[in-house]
Structure 1
Amino acid sequence: MNRLPVTHQVPYYAQWESAALVPQFISGTSAADDPLWQKSGADTREEYAFWAPRMCGVACLRMALDFWGHTVPPSVPLLREAVEAGAYVRHGDQVQGLIYAPFAAFAGRRWGLHAQAVPDLAPERIADEVGAGRLVLLSVHKSIRTLDPDPPQRGGHLVLAVGVSDTDVLLHNPSGLPGRSQQFAPVPWAHLGRYYAGRGVILGQHKEITA
């Protein structure tokens, strides 16, 4: 792709409050057992346990907000705002979301970010956008955390592209493994297609005016 290495020093947030315990949570331990659950702003352990496994997009947004100097809301109050904005729709114990278009509109309205939902987002454009100073939420399969050679499908989980080079895209993964795939985790462009659903949301620091 002939891209100079670019890495944005984006702070990392897991979708659980205890980032060091992510291996336990993805192995089946209830988030209700997270000793830091109250930091999320949830009213109860149960509320936190319901939403934490579903908050990859919220975690990515919090990273972007921190990077661009905005006050970062606690995860559950931010999630509630996103629900109000239509970015998540709850039906009993089922949740539809993250829904990209209302999420992008919410991020633009609430913080003045450039936010664009892109249903057909080619790897070359990811590289261009990150190279130009933006961050990109990517829909990938969760097994990208281990670079599983045979994922069962593409998409279903959101990660944040924070860097690019000719060979790799660097990801902050809200459900990544500590010391392995949480922060600045390189994924070769040649392997990205195994996990990547080809869609995402581009985030920039300020709204961009187009003619």
Structure 2
Amino acid sequence: MGGYSAYLPAETADQQGWMSLPGLVQLVDPDGAISGNTEAKLTDALRPASENASVRVERGFQRDDTVAILVLMGIIGLIILVATFVSTALSMAEQLPMMGTLAAVGATRMTRRKLAAAQAFLLSGLGAVAGAAIGLLPGIAAAKTVTTTSGQSHGGFVDMVDVPDVVGPFVAIPWLQIAAPIILVPVVAAVFAFVSIRRAPTVTRRAT
């Protein structure tokens, strides 16, 4: 035989002579969440009443994936840098005749360094922006899908509280994690390309 459950005021249970036990007490402090020390003292004070008594303090969103995000950002940055270095090296190798011509007309090593740095900065910048855009749009679409729920999914509570027909979506874009590779990777690539130009190109002369 199935049982029934309901939420009733404590006064109703007392009037009907029903036995009731407190299962949950929810307190709201207008000053915000209590400190960890106060939480520990409150837990110790509840222990004599029940061994299973516990205190849970809602402190809002607590990020616990910082290390994973840093590792992921490092991997993404490394991939962009490697691709940039390879592309820049191939491009500079193809430009050796032009570099020789520039050196013949008076271009200094600083000029060649600036050219290599600008090329690396442009390549890595375009790659970082394109990668962020390609990943951002599907990510927003996926976040909207998984964070949008129907009010009917709350079961019997729909009839007891004012639950909207649709809850969500909730989308928070991590702009810092997106902007960091876009800004830092091109700068690092440009610096490495700048210092990699060390020797003067070989100037070829046509025999007359």
User: TM-score band (shorter)?
Assistant: under 0.3
TM-score with structure 1 length normalisation?
Answer: 0.22
Larger Cα Rg: Structure 1 or Structure 2? 2
For normalisation by structure 2, the TM-score amounts to 0.23
